[in-house]
C-alpha cells in the first residue's frame, strides 16, 4: 500500500492522529521536499514520528517513482506538506501508482486552499487559483493576470500561489549533463506585486473591466498556520514595498465588491501607518 499523508501547514504536531498511526505502520517513509516547507526540519519530524524519513525531491518523484512505490508486502508513506491533493504533482504520483496496480490510500489534512480563510475573506467566494512564476529575461508569462481579471469580473477572489524553486538545475548544468543546482528561492508578496504592477503598466492602453490598478486591494499572507503567521492588507502599490519576512508567502487579490463581514474582518489587518 502507498499511503499519501498530509502533514498540515505548521510543524510536526499538525499531522492527524490517523496520519501518525499510518506512518508507524510503514516500512519506508518519504517527505516530498519541493512544493512547500514546514516550520521544522527533517530531524524534528523524525524525532516526533519515531522513524527515519527520506527526502523525495522533484527528480525522484517525477523521474524515478519506482524507487518510492512499495514492493510486495510493503507499506510506504509519502508525506506532503498541506493536503496530499493540493498539488497536481501528487495526483500524478497516485495515477502512476495505480497504473502499476499499487493500492493507494489518502490521509487528508489542512491546506493553504482552506487556511487562507484566516484573513477574513469567505472561501466560497474564491475563483480559480493561479500560480505566479518568477520572470527572467527570456520568459515573462502573464496568463495568471488574465485569470485574476476573469475572477474579478465574476466578483470572485483570487488566491495567488507564489513560485518556489528548490533543487532546480541550472541551465548550464543541463547542457553539460552534470547536475548543479540553483540556491533555493521563495517568491515574496512584494516580488509578486512588482510583477503584477509591470503587467498593469504594460497594458494601460488596453485595460478591460475588472482590470487591476495600483490602488487595487491586495492581501499578503506569510507562513500561514505557523506560530509567526503574518497578514497585511493594503493597495497593490503598497504591497510591492511590504516586507512580511521569511517564506512561505501567498497573495490574494480580492473581488471588487466585498461582503460587509469580509470588509470588517480584513480591516483588522490593514496597514495602520
Residue ranges at the known binding site = 9, 83, 86, 111-112, 162, 224, 249
Q: DSSP 3-state assignment of 180?
A: coil
Q: How far apart are CA 121 and CA 263, in angstroms?
A: 8
Q: How far apart are CA 267 and CA 252, in angstroms?
A: 15
Neighbours of 88 (CB within 10 A): 9
List binding-site positions for S-adenosyl-L-methionine.
Answer: 9, 83, 86, 111-112, 162, 224, 249
Q: What is the DSSP letter of 157?
A: B
- Which element (helix H / strand E) includes 106? strand 104-107
From the list 224, 220, 228, 217, the residue with the least C-alpha distance to 263 is: 217
Q: How far apart are CA 250 and CA 234, in angstroms?
A: 14
From the list 36, 179, 58, the residue with the least C-alpha distance to 112 is: 36
Amino acid at each position: 500500500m502507498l499511503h499519501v499523508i498530509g502533514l498540515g501547514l505548521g510543524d510536526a504536531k499538525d499531522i492527524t492522529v490517523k496520519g501518525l498511526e499510518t506512518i508507524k505502520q510503514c516500512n519506508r517513509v518519504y517527505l516530498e521536499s519541493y512544493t512547500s516547507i514546514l516550520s521544522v526540519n527533517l530531524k524534528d519530524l523524525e524525532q516526533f514520528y519515531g522513524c527515519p524519513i527520506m527526502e523525495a525531491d522533484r527528480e525522484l518523484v517525477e523521474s524515478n517513482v519506482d524507487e518510492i512505490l512499495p514492493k510486495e508486502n510493503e507499506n510506504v508513506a509519502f508525506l506532503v506538506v498541506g493536503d496530499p491533493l493540493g498539488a497536481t504533482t501528487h495526483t500524478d504520483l497516485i495515477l502512476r501508482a495505480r497504473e502499476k496496480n499499487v493500492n493507494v490510500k489518502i490521509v487528508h489534512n489542512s491546506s493553504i486552499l482552506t487556511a487562507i480563510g484566516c484573513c477574513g475573506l469567505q472561501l466560497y467566494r474564491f475563483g480559480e487559483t493561479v500560480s505566479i512564476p518568477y520572470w527572467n529575461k527570456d520568459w515573462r508569462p502573464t496568463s495568471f493576470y488574465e485569470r485574476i481579471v476573469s475572477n474579478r469580473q465574476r466578483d470572485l477572489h483570487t488566491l495567488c500561489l507564489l513560485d518556489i524553486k528548490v533543487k532546480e538545475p541550472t541551465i548550464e548544468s543541463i547542457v553539460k549533463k552534470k547536475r548543479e543546482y540553483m540556491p533555493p528561492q521563495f517568491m515574496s508578496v512584494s516580488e509578486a506585486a512588482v510583477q503584477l504592477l509591470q503587467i498593469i503598466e504594460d497594458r494601460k492602453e488596453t485595460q478591460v473591466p475588472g482590470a487591476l490598478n495600483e490602488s487595487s486591494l491586495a492581501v499578503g499572507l506569510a507562513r500561514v498556520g505557523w506560530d509567526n503567521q503574518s497578514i497585511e492588507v493594503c493597495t497593490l502599490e503598497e504591497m510591492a514595498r511590504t516586507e512580511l519576512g521569511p517564506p512561505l508567502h501567498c497573495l490574494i487579490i480580492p473581488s471588487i465588491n466585498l461582503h460587509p463581514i469580509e470588509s470588517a474582518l480584513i480591516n483588522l489587518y490593514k496597514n495602520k501607518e
